[in-house]
Amino acid sequence: MNRGLQNANKGFTLLELMIALTLGLIVSAIAIQLTLTAQKGVSSQQAMSNLQNDALFGLEAVVRDIRLANLNASDVVINDSVLHGGIVLDAKNYTSKRTGAGLGDVELVDALSLGNIENTSNLSGVKSDQLVIQYKNMMEDQFDCEGAKIPVNTFVVQKYFIRKDTAKNEPNEPFSLACKAFTYTGDEPAKIDLSGNGEIIIPRVDYFGVMLGVAKDKCVDTETADALMSCFGYISINDYMALTTKPQIVMLKVGMLVRSTNSTGSNDLFNEDKLYEILNVNSKLKPNTKNDQYMRSIVTQTIALRNGFGIEKQE
């Protein structure tokens, strides 16, 4: 009788309870860690997926439009003086009218390709470029980069540029690659206005650069002094405009540093001293405590211009 009562009242000892509690805490910690790791993995995969979609599909749209540059142009040569040339570098690309000083007689509002635009990059000591193209549309049911329908027999001008987007507690400036379009008819436009925000093509771009691929017939080898059939190279927009004699433009290179729109959380592998090499630029990100929370990718594309390889006119 007493032995049965003793067995009925027997329970866990304090040591057994402490061991069970410790094991439970360990299992809970492992479960929490696995959950956090899984969530971080999902966030990283989602960020990479969004980054690739933005970069690849956005760049594809830009390249598709740039390939229209010089379409239905009156001259196969592209430079800063050919009327309606595919790459717009000067007012002479818009009109044959001249001022008393010999300049193109047209009012321009932010309507030229330019290099080193202020406050357009999240790379240290580097500024983004601005690209302006034009072509003549001769088909029905065509649309510009802002989604507006283009009338037939109309010149289309499109500007690709970096602008600020709505701040969302992100690192550095929330820059985006945008496009602004303008159309005109006839050879003597009074005004070309490409001001305004335009339409965002890629939502987060830390840098946008452009290099002009140029060619010139009968170059001379500086070492042997022998005449060459042609010479070819890439040059920045500003360096091209600084040349006294400008060669024809036959190709473009565009490059971007694209950032994910959503955060992946802190990344221990992030290197704040990493140099990003994009075309002729080699620079690191401007310092920011949130730089390690986003993924980035460099995308570049070389684009042959329509009719760009036409024979340069001989004087």
CA separation for the pair 65, 216 (Å, rounded) = 26
H-helix or E-strand containing 161?
Answer: strand 154-164
Percent of the chain at pLDDT > 90 equals: 46
Does the pLDDT value for residue 197 go beyond 90? yes
Give the pLDDT confidence of 253-302 residue by residue, as tens digits: 999 999 888 877 777 778 889 999 999 999 999 999 889 888 888 999 99
21 in a structural domain: no
134 in a structural domain: yes
313 in a structural domain: no
11 in a structural domain: no
Supply the range of the domain harboring residue 141: 34-304
226 in a structural domain: yes
Which pair of structure tokens corresponds to residue 274? Answer: 């990493």
26 in a structural domain: no
Query: Is the distance from CB of 131 to CB of 113 less than 8 angstroms?
Result: yes
* C-alpha separations of 283 from 20, 125, 278 in Å: 55, 8, 9
5 in a structural domain: no
274 in a structural domain: yes
Q: Number of folded domains in the chain? A: 1
pTM of the model: 0.81
Q: Which residues of 124-141 are buried (b: 16+ CB within 10 A; e: fewer)?
A: eebbbbbbbbbbbbeeee
Q: How many CB atoms lie within 10 A of CB 254?
A: 23
Percent of the chain at pLDDT > 70 equals: 81
Give the pLDDT confidence of 205-235 residue by residue, as tens digits: 999 999 999 987 666 555 555 545 457 889 9
